[in-house]
A and B are shown apart, each in its own frame.
Chain A
Amino acid sequence: MELEQDLMVSERKKKPFRWHVLVFLAPAVIVYTMIMILPLAETLRFSFFQRDTITQAISFVGLENYIKLFFDPYWVEPFLNSLWNNCYFFLIHMLVQNPIGILIAALLSMVHLPGKKLYRIAIFMPTLLSFVVVGFVWKLMLSPLWGVSKGLMKSVGVGSWYLPFLGKEETALTTLSLISVWQFIGIPMMLIYAALLSIPDEVIEAAECDGVTGISQFFKIKLVLILPTIGIISILTFVGNFNAFDLIYTTQGPLAGPNFSTDLLGTILYRTFYGQQLQPGDPNMGAAIATVMFFIILTGVAIYLFFIQRKLTRYEM
């Protein structure tokens, strides 16, 4: 006993500074801090400054940029428009992408044929494409110049429903949301498929013994067990959607046409930062918008972590 204590004391005394821990950690921490955390903080700080239009000197203006953003009609209208569009964009993903992802995953876990692998590979493929490709492919397909979508719709008897979907204010945002769903459906499919596979056989067998099979088995048992995965997918979708920019930029250009009907927070940030046809770029206002986006995303993540994730019971499997 005494010897043991002696050993412990001497060990504590002898322990030299472990340089290797520092060496292992340093590169990652330095790069991450320098390129990600400090610029983020810098962006927050930058949003409290503004360049004087006459003297060109940059000075501290307090909350002026935010007051402009929230109360000046010149700023607040496009900002609220893009915020609303962004919420709608997210809603479509939640209502279309995730349920279809769950459906595909459930069907995949049901099928017992070799074709299953091919389905997975095919349905996941669009996720790998760049937004430039996705944007232009759909733009070309939906273009009234190229009769592909009109021809296809005619062949299933709904030719009269054809509209230049991306060119009309009423349909452009929905169309873009669905294109984005088309692109990213593979992610919920894969994650939920993995979650379904990890449900142990004993649980399913027990359910079958109790006569719970088929569709009711899916809703009463499997769906409950994969709720944590659905939660993760929802928050991933949220962060991705409120940060979206590329798809709108490649299909509709930085002005997010027609008439700003597809403007998202990402595109308004880009325009403010870089300027557009009639207006020079304003990095300080851009920083203010980025800060607002930061807090929107942070709020979403916090709601997920503190309310949703806690409520979801994790079953040890």
Chain B
Amino acid sequence: MTTLAGSQAKSKRQQLAGKILHKIWDQRWLYVFTIPGIIFFLLFSYYPMFGIIMAFQDYNPVKGYSGSEFVGFDNFNTIFQLPDFNNALRNTLIISGLKLIIGFPATILFALFINEIHHTIFKRVVQTISYLPYFISWVIAAGLWYKMLSPDGGLINEMLTKVGFLNEPYYFMGSTTAFVPIVLFTELWKNIGFNAIIYLAALSSIDPHLYEVSSIDGASRVRQIWHIALPGIRGTMVLLFILSASGLMSAGFDQLWTMGNLQVQEVGQILDTLILSYLRNSGGFMGLSLGATMGVFQATVGLILFLVCNFVAKLFKQESLI
């Protein structure tokens, strides 16, 4: 009895094992396709994460991770006491928040305007040109805008004074009031064309029949946009809004690193730029630990934001981002 049951169980196990093996064999190529990737991320992303230890150490590169002294959460206490950090955290949230609140609708508006062009060649040319700033680096873009906005012979100041809008040249880049709006504007200038692609795609997938019907009903263009176009891209809008919201902890490192200057650091210093400046010019090795600590803080908050947004996305679209 027992032996029979035992052999039955055994054969069941065998069968099961055979099934699993069979399934693995069946999907062998899928394993082959992914194993290099698993190894890659293991080596180049996960393995170096041992560096996070730095945030809990008084790190000294010569002594290394094993030789440096552990200080527990001291570094976290230190950064919260630093005036730089609180300022940068606030600026990060303000700048990325504004980018979301203003950039998001502006991109949709831009897509709607492009969509309303009916001259095919003109439309294509405008689109091609609108991607152009996307392909240049912020180093170059920042240099350009500095030059254009300069109070000393900059094109914009010359125009504004000639028209009589300004009495004397205004130093835009040195003004704490003007700086954030300029950051927002240049961000839009650089990325709006490229970001609009997604909305244009969604717009083009709206059934043209809907437009025809509403035209016959005598609806104006604006009404058409309101009643047909916007509802048609609602899904995309929600998804993208959530996606951008999950990136709230990064306000655009390249842009702020290249556009910021001493006079406006009060409003322009963000976490990413602060971390880099700590890593580069710090007293002794302390900046390494403090920079890493800020990085860990930023990543943790970022990851939580992402999870929350992912959850919200699930609620809206019944599917998750990952």
The yes or no verdict on A and B being binding partners is no
